[in-house]
Structure 1
Amino acid sequence: MSNSSTITEKWEPVHPGEVRMEDFIKGFQITQHKLAVDIGVPPRRINEIVHGKRAITADTALCLGRYFQMDPQFWLN
């Protein structure tokens, strides 16, 4: 006989942009504002992506890919 119990915790889904963008901003030691200015997008767009309120569009993915010198597809997956 087993005395194990099942604990069900509800986790809010994490927006992919929130994790990726936050990691890159911290890793490159840049601010959201600097990134936005450098890639030519409104700072609010970067802030909303970081906080999971906006998806990363193809256009933004291209800008991020150029900036971080990587495949833009990374930002869309």
Structure 2
Amino acid sequence: MPDLIQRSALAGLDLAAETSGAPLPNITPGEVLRAEFLEPMGLSARALAREIGVPANRITGIIHGARAVTAGTALLLARRFGTSAEFWMNLQTAHDLEEARHRLGIAA
């Protein structure tokens, strides 16, 4: 029998944003990189760039949403953080599609 979630475990969980119908913000791959990888690891953009052998402005551009994650950078990030390149490319694709939907007025 599968593990069941106890109702008491959900008591403090705030799902307001997910249940209100309000659109969630379009998160960039750089925001994920910063919040989920760099900050918890105490790693700077410059240090990451040095480790994976790319110019620092590539990483800072991604973090600030001014630059997209390319296939090559996705491979390097995947190797460094133990993820897949597809993880990074899917983040970029999801962001790009949401931007295009907004620009063209097409609902998801």
Does the TM-score normalized on the shorter chain lie above 0.5? yes
The yes-or-no answer on 1:69 pairing with 2:82 is yes
The one of 33, 37, 57 equivalent to 1:21 is 33
Q: 1:32 aligns with which of 35, 45, 55?
A: 45
Larger proportion of helix: 2
Contact 2:45 2:60 in 1 (8 A): yes
- State the match for 2:64 in structure 1: 51
Unaligned 5+ residue runs, structure 2? 1-24, 91-108
| Distance in 2, Cα, partners of 1:51 & 1:14 | 13
Q: How many residues align?
A: 66
Q: What RMSD, in angstroms, separates the aligned Cα atoms of the two structures?
A: 1.6
Q: Distance in 2 between matches of 1:51 and 1:29?
A: 18
- Runs of at least 4 residues of structure 1 off by over 3 A? none
Partners of 1:44 and 1:14 in 2: CA distance: 22
Distance 1:48 1:54 in 2: 5
- TM-superposed deviation, 1:14: 4.1
